[in-house]
Amino acid sequence: MAGGNAGGEVLVSIRNLTFSRGSRKIFDGVNLDIPRGKITAIMGPSGTGKTTLLKLIGGQLRPDSGTITVDGRIVHELSLGRLYELRKKIGMLFQTGALLTDLNVFENVAFPLREHTKLPESMIRTLVLMKLQAVGLRGARDLMPAQLSGGMARRVALARAITLDPMMIMYDEPFTGQDPISMGVLVKLIRDLNRELGLTSIVVSHDVEETASIADYIYLISEGKVVGQGTPDAIRHSESPWVLQFMEGLADGPVPFHYPAPDYAADLLNPPA
């Protein structure tokens, strides 16, 4: 059993997870533990189903077999009502931000409050401005999502994800496609929020440097299996050639440079009839 050994209480625990899309197996016997109050990173090449894993944890997809336990409850056995109760305690930051395009920044951040609470308008205003201040975008409250840069949109989405004061936030590729400055801002935000709000964070990413700089514990996933795990330092000094190739970004290694093909010379010399 590959249990997380980062210490402390476990918030999310995944056991023997298998999941397939059509005939393609995305997860095949994955075991993961996400400790409470820490930042856990899940890394791996594109297309290994990291986003799918977050959707499984959030209960948007159901596993073929295995169990996913969040805060002591088995996610895929909850009724829809209970699942929604659980989701109110989980924030998720989508790759694109997933802001509602017909609402401005303020209303986007206020959205969960308006949907789930009956707070008076003045209270909503205060809460929203506090969350926007935390991500440094209090001044952008009247902009529409289309007017925001990618990094700003993600920060607004982050403010929205924390409006209901969740116990956990899942970040889906937070650093992809960001310039160095936005990247730095996001790294700082994720780290600060986790510390100050006592959150548990799951970061899914393939940006090695940034992720390694904030994560307490890293899982490496490839081809449906956990291929490596440990603290960032332990991972960096791993013996495994696959882990080394991924962390160092080498072009060739256990993941071959060439897509499987017949012999090169034979292929050139024998054109199809």
Distances (CA, A) of 231 to 51, 161, 201, 235, 239: 22, 26, 15, 6, 14
78 binds other proteins (CB under 8 A): no
Q: Which amino acid is residue 203, in one-letter code?
A: V
**Which letter does DSSP use for residue 259 in this model?**
P
The pair of three-digit structure tokens given for residue 263, joined into one six-digit string: 């012999």
119 binds other proteins (CB under 8 A): no
Work out how close the CB of 179 gets to other proteins at its nearest, in angstroms, rounded to a whole number: 21
125 binds other proteins (CB under 8 A): no
Distances (CA, A) of 162 to 102, 112, 169: 21, 10, 8
98 binds other proteins (CB under 8 A): yes
Alpha helices in the chain (DSSP H): 50-57, 80-87, 105-116, 121-134, 150-161, 180-196, 208-214, 232-236, 241-248, 264-269
Choices 37-45, 85-93, 205-213, 243-251 (CB under 8 A): range interacting with other proteins: 85-93
The pair of three-digit structure tokens given for residue 33, joined into one six-digit string: 């533990």
Single out the residue of 46, 47, 102, 118 in contact with other proteins (rule: CB under 8 A). Answer: 102
Give the total of residues touching other proteins (CB under 8 A). Answer: 26
| HSE-up (13 A, CA, CB side) for residue 207 | 19
Single out the residue of 15, 38, 87, 131 in contact with other proteins (rule: CB under 8 A). Answer: 87
Single out the residue of 2, 111, 191, 242 in contact with other proteins (rule: CB under 8 A). Answer: 111
Work out how close the CB of 123 gets to other proteins at its nearest, in angstroms, rounded to a whole number: 19
DSSP β-bridge partners for residue 42: 204, 219
Pairing of strands 168-172, 39-43: unpaired
Residue closer to other proteins, measured from CB, 113 or 221:
113
Residue closer to other proteins, measured from CB, 14 or 235:
14
User: Going by C-beta distance under 8 Å and a sequence separation of 6 or more, which residues neighbour residue 209?
Assistant: none
Single out the residue of 25, 36, 73, 88 in contact with other proteins (rule: CB under 8 A). Answer: 88
Helices 121-134 and 105-116 cross at an angle (nearest 10°) of: 130
116 binds other proteins (CB under 8 A): yes
User: Going by C-beta distance under 8 Å and a sequence separation of 6 or more, which residues neighbour residue 67?
Assistant: 14, 15, 16, 17, 74, 76
Single out the residue of 35, 44, 49, 58 in contact with other proteins (rule: CB under 8 A). Answer: 58
250 binds other proteins (CB under 8 A): no
100 binds other proteins (CB under 8 A): yes
Instruction: Considering only the C-alpha atoms of the chain, give the largest distance between any 2 of them, rounded to a whole number of Å.
Output: 77
Choices 4-12, 92-100, 179-187, 249-257 (CB under 8 A): range interacting with other proteins: 92-100
Work out how close the CB of 218 gets to other proteins at its nearest, in angstroms, rounded to a whole number: 24
Work out how close the CB of 141 gets to other proteins at its nearest, in angstroms, rounded to a whole number: 15
Q: Which amino acid is residue 208, in one-letter code?
A: V
Q: Which of residues 11-30 bind other proteins (CB under 8 A)?
A: none
Residues that bind other proteins (CB under 8 A): 55, 58, 60, 84-85, 87-88, 90-92, 94-96, 98-103, 111-112, 115-116, 157, 160, 164
